[in-house]
Amino acid sequence: MTRVLMPFPADAVLGGTINQPLQARIAPVAWRHFPDGESLVTLDDALAGADVAILASLRNADALALPLRFAARTAREFGARSVGLIAPYLGYMRQDTRFHRGEAVSTPLFAQFLEESFDWLVTVDPHLHRV
């Protein structure tokens, strides 16, 4: 079984710390922005049959959500057997109920968003104590 750890740029140091206990090869996610703000995600394309773990702290979930989805889907296109998410901090957990009229209940919406792209998720700090 081949394991590949793919840290986003902000999590590269942590990736270098946890890859050995995971017995995973590191293949960093390259992420750049075009002048209009769109993201371009680039991955190692040697993922056929690999179990991939994407490492991204979701402290700034709005900025990371779409590039994260691009990375997960691209890993699958490159033949990854499974794609998981290691999110040391998991945002969007605080709005688990409608506190005021008209508010979105974002916790289940964000969970569904992640579930559509990942086979599994590991987190250390889900940003809510009630769930």
Burial class (CB in 10 A: 0-12, 13-18, 19+), 123: middle
Residue 1 has pLDDT above 90, yes or no: no
The gap from C-alpha 85 to its chain's centroid, in whole angstroms, comes to 5
Q: Determine the pLDDT at residue 74.
A: 98
Cα 9 to Cα 30: distance, rounded to the nearest angstrom: 7
DSSP bridge partners of 120: 84
pLDDT tens-digit readout, 35-66: 999 999 999 999 999 999 999 999 899 999 99
| pLDDT band with cut points at 50, 70 and 90 for residue 127 | low
CB 116 within 8 Å of CB 72? no
What domains appear along the chain, each with residue ranges and CATH number? 3-126 (3.40.50.2020)
* Residue 103 phi, psi (nearest 5): -75, 145
- Average pLDDT of the residues of the chain: 93
Cα 7 to Cα 98: distance, rounded to the nearest angstrom: 34
